[in-house]
Amino acid sequence: MKAKTSDQLAHSRPLDVHKWSDYPEVNLWVNKLWKVYLDSEYPEATTAGKRPKASAKQQFKVLLLDLYIAWLEDPELLIGVSLTKSSYKPNSRYSALHISYVIVGIIHYLNSIDLIGLHKGSEATQRTTRIWPSKKLLEHFKASEITSFIINIHKDKEVIILNKSQPDEQGGFKKTAKPIEYKDEDYDQIPRMRHEVKKYNELLRTSFIDIGDLGKPVVEQEYWDRRQRRMVTRKVYISHHNKFVRRVFYRGDWKLGGRLHGGFWQQIKEKRKNILINDHRSVELDFSGLHINLAYALEGLKPLQGDPYSVDLLFDTTPQQQREWMKGLSLMLINAKEEKKAMQAFRSAQPTGSEAKSFNNKQVKQLIEAFTEKHQKISKYFCSDYGVVFMNIDGAITAKVIKHFTDLKEPILSVHDSYICREGVKDNLIKVMNEAITETLGGYVIGIKANKELEDIASRTVEGVIELSAMKDLWLNRPKDTERCTEYENRWEQHKEWLHMVERPLYINL
């Protein structure tokens, strides 16, 4: 089998050990492949003795389904797997399907019979082993009529995560997240939170969330790669399998963090405004300067007046550009433990070749001093590691907003402290956001802004009759979020067909 290049090996995602389906056609397909290729190597045990909680066939099923979904999304996408025993903890709450070290033996066997390709990882390259379907397995994939809609995340996958790692100065994670074990008795809110997030995930699963002008449902997005210390491009898949969310707490503390993480909408920026929810245009509503306002609220001060990121012009640039610097810097000042870390985070977040990328400490210090002067009354929260505390507050606010609309079966997409909704839900969402803030902060009010204006068609009518000239202008100058390409229309039709064919109960009793 032809060796993969470094770029090909880099185009991968981790194995999802919770891919599952109980649909009869899926089980028939898995059983057929098992009988042809693995039945003789893994005969069913007939004698007494200790056995793994998940049989070899079940573990093969997880592996096969994840390889299949990856291929459906992107034929070039590889799967990263660990070959170390310590990576598989079948008794962990984070392994609902009890995937054990048995799966590593299956991986090696599938490679030995030329059903999958394998490139072994190493510590030197800081890269796990990569696997991909061989030509032999691809023939089975191409012949299959199984759609991605009937393969899902297992219903018992844990959605409440207690992480050992912590956010960095930019709000991301310093290291690969390391969930730690806990008991539900450790925090009395866990059962309630789990029920709410599972119910929300079920709503997302059955909702169609896509982007209308995307022929191929993928968005290329730049991000800062800490290992390579440079901006790199990744592909974000706009798919049925990239909507699962979980609520994550940090540093092993139920009072730190608690935000909802997951969903492709959190990974894209420019294209986010073009998201369609069940084929309706959407709008994103954002609390204005939320963490800055939280600091004012905690100090018992009045809400901010004016733009929290606007200060006198310090450099030969536009006010808009300086405001963007200030907005990014404010997040880093709140998340950082010390000023030096905030400076480093600010520079690393700037695009390669930009003016701010080459700022020295003195120049970044000018921005910090101007911002601190403007917000002198809350300066104690800067470079004091308060970010995780504020994240706990905005996580609680988001939970209230999401629960309200989930109970109404209305999907709202969260991007931490902002929310995406169908355009017709905008006014109700603003009302609920205000209620959640005032309830959490004892009457405090924070301004809300939208990411775009939505024009009412009534403004183009005269006595209820639409003017043709106005409609022509609307059509020629229509925004991207009103476009529907043929490929999108096909995905929408497939989703509706799938919803019609679903007759069995949903994941959980809602």
Domain ranges within the chain, ordered by starting residue: 1-154, 309-374
Reference 495, options 219, 285, 208; nearest CA is 208
DSSP at 93: T
Return d(Cα 249, Cα 259) in angstroms, integer.
7
pLDDT at 509: 36
pLDDT at 46: 60
Residue 465 gets the label, from left (phi > 0), alpha (psi -120 to 50) or beta, of beta
How many CB atoms within 10 Å of residue 122?
Answer: 10
Return d(Cα 201, Cα 123) in angstroms, integer.
36
Structure tokens given for 105: 């033996």
What is the DSSP annotation of 358-421?
A: G--HHHHHHHHHHHHHHTGGGGGGTTTT-HHHHHHHHHHHHHHHHHHHHHTT---EE-SSEEEE
Query: CB–CB of 330/292 below 8 Å?
Result: yes
CA 161 to chain centre: 14
Query: CB–CB of 411/277 below 8 Å?
Result: yes
Query: CB–CB of 333/382 below 8 Å?
Result: yes
Reference 284, options 171, 409, 429; nearest CA is 429
pLDDT at 503: 47
Strand 245-249 relative to strand 160-162: parallel, antiparallel, unpaired?
parallel
Q: Starting at the earlier edge strand, list the strands of the sheet with 116-119.
A: 12-14, 78-81, 129-133, 116-119
b/e per residue 153-174 (b: at least 16 CB within 10 A): bbeebbbbbbbebbbbbbbebe
Helix axes 56-73, 24-37, angle to 10 degrees: 110
Q: 218-226 long-range contacts, Cβ below 8 Å, gap at least 24? A: 218/73, 218/74, 219/264, 219/268, 219/271, 221/267, 221/268, 221/269, 222/351, 224/170, 224/348, 224/349
Phi and psi of 294, rounded to 5°?
A: -60, -40
**Which residues does residue 130 pair with via DSSP β-bridges, in sequence order?**
80, 119
pLDDT at 135: 97
Q: Which helix (H) or strand (E) holds 275?
A: strand 275-277
pLDDT at 458: 47
Work out the end-to-end distance of the chain between its first and last CA atoms, rounded to an integer number of angstroms. 48
CA 386 to chain centre: 23
Model's pTM, two decimal places? 0.89
pLDDT at 44: 78
What is the DSSP annotation of 442-467?
A: TT----EEESS----GGGGEETTEEP
Whole-Å CA distances, 65 to 10, 76, 153, 187: 21, 16, 11, 35
Return d(Cα 475, Cα 473) in angstroms, integer.
5
In terms of residues, how long is the chain?
510
Maximum C-alpha span of the chain: 83
What is the DSSP annotation of 149-202?
A: GG-EE-TT---EEEBSS-B-TTSSBSS---B----GGGSTTHHHHHHHHHHHHH
How many CB atoms within 10 Å of residue 469?
Answer: 9
pLDDT along the chain (510 residues), means of 10: 88 96 96 97 73 91 98 97 95 96 97 97 84 98 95 96 71 65 97 98 96 95 66 88 96 95 94 95 93 94 87 92 94 93 90 89 96 96 94 96 97 95 95 95 88 57 54 56 90 91 46
